Amino acid sequence: DVVLTQTPLSSAVTLGQPAAISCRSSQSLVHSDGNTYLTWLQQRPGQPPRLLIYKVSKRLSGVPDRFSGSGAGTDFTLMISRVEAEDVGVYYCMQPSQFPHTFGQGTKLEIK
């Protein structure tokens, strides 16, 4: 199974400052079709998850442009350029490419 390891597991960030979350995969996530299917999801307290980023770096419609994804192969990063209060929650990376699909452990983002 593909193991996704996120770091850090928690982060306290000052409003307006950047935040970065890393997701490292135990195997390459390059699919046989040539695409890399790594997604990032946000889960606000008491809410279902919400997809932010798919295929490593593509923002879902309606997601603020302060969220960006990057990476390749086995190393991926979610960046929030300027953290806002509404960004508090848990962030997960997930790979929907290989079976079984797997999630990272989650990174809890708080405001300092």
Partner 1 sequence: QVQLVESGGGVVQPGRSLRLSCAASGFTFGSYDMHWVRQAPGEGLEWVARISYDNSKTYYPDSAKGRFTISRDNSKNTLYLQMNSLRADDTAMYYCARDSWGPDMWGQGTMVTVSS
User: For 85, phi and psi rounded to 5 degrees?
Assistant: -60, -35
**CA 104 – CA 56 distance, rounded (Å):** 14
Among 44, 64, 73, 101, binds partner 1 (CB under 8 A): 101
Does residue number 24 form part of the binding site for partner 1 (CB under 8 A)? no
Count the site residues for partner 1 by CB under 8 A. 26
| Residue nearer to partner 1 on the CB measure, 19 or 69 | 69
Among 55, 59, 66, 77, binds partner 1 (CB under 8 A): 55
Least Cα distance to 18 among 69, 84, 75 occurs for 84
Cis peptide leading into residue 100 (ω within 30°): yes
Does residue number 103 form part of the binding site for partner 1 (CB under 8 A)? yes
Does residue number 25 form part of the binding site for partner 1 (CB under 8 A)? no
Least gap, CB of 105 to partner 1 (angstroms): 6
With beta carbons less than 8 A apart as the criterion, state whether 27 and 74 touch: yes
